[in-house]
Amino acid sequence: MTDNRQVRLLIIGAPGAGKGTQAARIAERYGIPAVSTGDIFRANIKAGTPLGQQVSAIIESGGLVPDELTNEIVADRLKRDDVTNGFLLDGYPRTVAQVHALDAVLEADARRLDAVLLLEADTDSVVSRLLKRAEIEGRADDTEEVIRHRQEVYLEQTAPLVELFSQRGILVAVDGLGAVDEVSARIFGALDARLDARLGA
């Protein structure tokens, strides 16, 4: 991947599967910005903006911010100049309604997704990872009860998206368990192959 073709990606997976860590690496490799809705919300909470005030209780409880609000934020973010040549969305879409909203935003500009990376990890592994992260980062939504709730929300609301993207033929599934570097190497191998095939390289 040394040329400057456009790459539009999503990373999807259970909370704790390592999306944020791998998203930063993928973004660097393909020279695209990683856009994380969770990071956007957390930055707003920290800065005490009206959006932050609106979403902080929801995020602390492990629930989902309403689709309409989340869709609006992402639609605005995808209008900025830095995503013209591609992007990696991390943590969005999380519901079927969000998929449809994203479809509309991309179609309006004749943009399309190249691949959806599914980072696979079983529930026990992700829960223990999140409990470890709680000790290190102290995120308000990393208490055990909230962690369990976030897993349930993922299974109910977000896991069905995997089948949807699979039907579209753009799903790339990678085992998210193991050392960070190993997982990155797996991801790069799988994504490079997919992007080369898709773009006819």
Those residues with Cβ within 8 angstroms of residue 161's Cβ, 6 or more apart along the chain or in another chain: 12, 93, 94, 95, 96, 99
Q: Give the angle subtended at the CA of 108 by the CAs of 106 and 109, to the nearest 5°.
A: 70
Stretch that binds ligand AMP, among 46-54, 57-65, 122-130, 163-171 (CB under 6 A): 57-65
- Write down the least CB distance from residue 175 to ligand AMP, Å: 20
Residue 94 touching ligand AMP (CB under 6 A):
yes
Cβ closest to ligand AMP, residue 157 vs residue 195: 157
- Write down the least CB distance from residue 165 to ligand AMP, Å: 15
Is 111 one of the catalytic residues?
no
Is 133 one of the catalytic residues?
yes
**116 neighbors 9 (Cβ within 8 angstroms):** yes
Is 139 one of the catalytic residues?
yes
| Residue 91, Ramachandran bin (φ over 0: left; ψ between -120 and 50: alpha; else beta) | left
Question: DSSP character for 154?
Answer: I
- Per-residue binding letters, 118-157, with ligand AMP (x by CB under 6 A): -----------------------x--------x-------
CA distance 87 to 6: 8
CA distance 122 to 55: 28
- Write down the least CB distance from residue 61 to ligand AMP, Å: 8
- Write down the least CB distance from residue 68 to ligand AMP, Å: 10
Residues lying near ligand AMP in the complex (CB under 6 A) are found at 15, 37-38, 41, 58-59, 62-65, 70, 91-92, 94, 98, 141, 150
